[in-house]
Amino acid sequence: MDIQIRRVQETDSERIRQLFKEVMIYGASSPGKLALNHQLYVQPAYVLYGIFSLGVLISYYSIAPGSLICVASLAFFLAWRQRIWREIKKYDDAAMNGGDLADIGSHYGPVPSAFWVAEVQDSGGAGTVIGCVGLDSSTNPDPSVVEIRRMLVSPSYQQRGVGSSLLRAAIDHARTQKMQRIFLSTSMFQPAARKLYENFGFFEEGKLDVGVKFCSISFDIDFYVYGMQL
C-alpha cells in the first residue's frame, strides 16, 4: 500500500470534512456512535427497560394502564436518546460552522500551526485522502504550546500505521518549530487514539467528566487530556 503523508491543499478541504463526519460522528465505529450506543448500557436505561417490562406484564391484566406505561417509558427513552445525539452533533456543528474545519487553509496556515493528510495512490496514480491531523497553536495562549487536533484515519485503513505516520509528522514539525509542549484531548470512546498517543510517550494529565443532562438523568462522558514535553 503506497501511502504518502503530505501538507494539506485547498482541494482536500471537502474530503477532510467528509472524513471527520464519517470517522468521528456518523460512522458505525465512530466515537459519536459509540457514545450513543453507550446509552443502552447505563443504569437509567436498565431502569427504563424494567419499567417497560412492567408495563408489558400489567397489560396482560389491564391493557390501558399497561400500554400507557410502555408508551411513556419508550417515549422517555427516545427523547433522552435524542438529547444525547443532539449534544454529539454539536461537536460536528462546532467544527464546521466557523470552526477550524470551515476554512482549514486559514486556520492551520499561520506557523507553527500546520495540517497534514495521508493519501493513498491507486494503480493509476490517482490519490485519495484517507487520514489527517492538525497541529493548532491557536487554542493555547502560551506560544510554545501546540494542540494535536483532527487525528482521523478512515476505518478501512486503520491499524496499518497511518495514524502513527501522521502523528510522527506533527510531532517532528512541533520540534522543528521549537515548541515546548504538545497536548490533545480525547475521550473514553477513543481507545485506539489513547493507545496511539501512549505509544508516542504522551501521558494522561487530566480527566474531565462532561454530563449531558436530561430531566434528572446525567449521561457522563469522560474526556482525557494527554500531554508531552518536547
Ligand X SMILES: CC(C)(COP(=O)(O)OP(=O)(O)OC[C@H]1O[C@@H](n2cnc3c(N)ncnc32)[C@H](O)[C@@H]1OP(=O)(O)O)[C@@H](O)C(=O)NCCC(=O)NCCS
Among 164, 176, 180, 218, binds ligand X (CB under 6 A): 164
How far is the C-alpha of 35 from the C-alpha of 48, rounded, in Å?
18
Residue written as grid cell 417490562? 53
110: closest CA among 81, 135, 77, 74? 135
Nearer to ligand X, 11 or 156 (CB): 156
The neighbouring-strand residues paired with 121 are 127
Q: The C-alpha cell of 86 is what? A: 443532539
How far is the C-alpha of 126 from the C-alpha of 112, rounded, in Å?
30
Nearer to ligand X, 48 or 192 (CB): 192
Nearer to ligand X, 151 or 212 (CB): 151
How far is the C-alpha of 11 from the C-alpha of 14, rounded, in Å?
7
- Cβ 150 vs Cβ 170: under 8 Å: no
Nearest distance from C-beta of residue 69 to ligand X, angstroms: 39
Map the footprint of ligand X across residues 182-211, applying CB under 6 A: 184, 186, 190-193, 195-196, 199
Map the footprint of ligand X across residues 104-163, applying CB under 6 A: 151-153, 158-163
Q: How many residues bind ligand X (CB under 6 A)?
A: 22
Nearer to ligand X, 84 or 147 (CB): 147
Which residues here bind ligand X, judged by CB under 6 A?
23-24, 31, 151-153, 158-164, 184, 186, 190-193, 195-196, 199
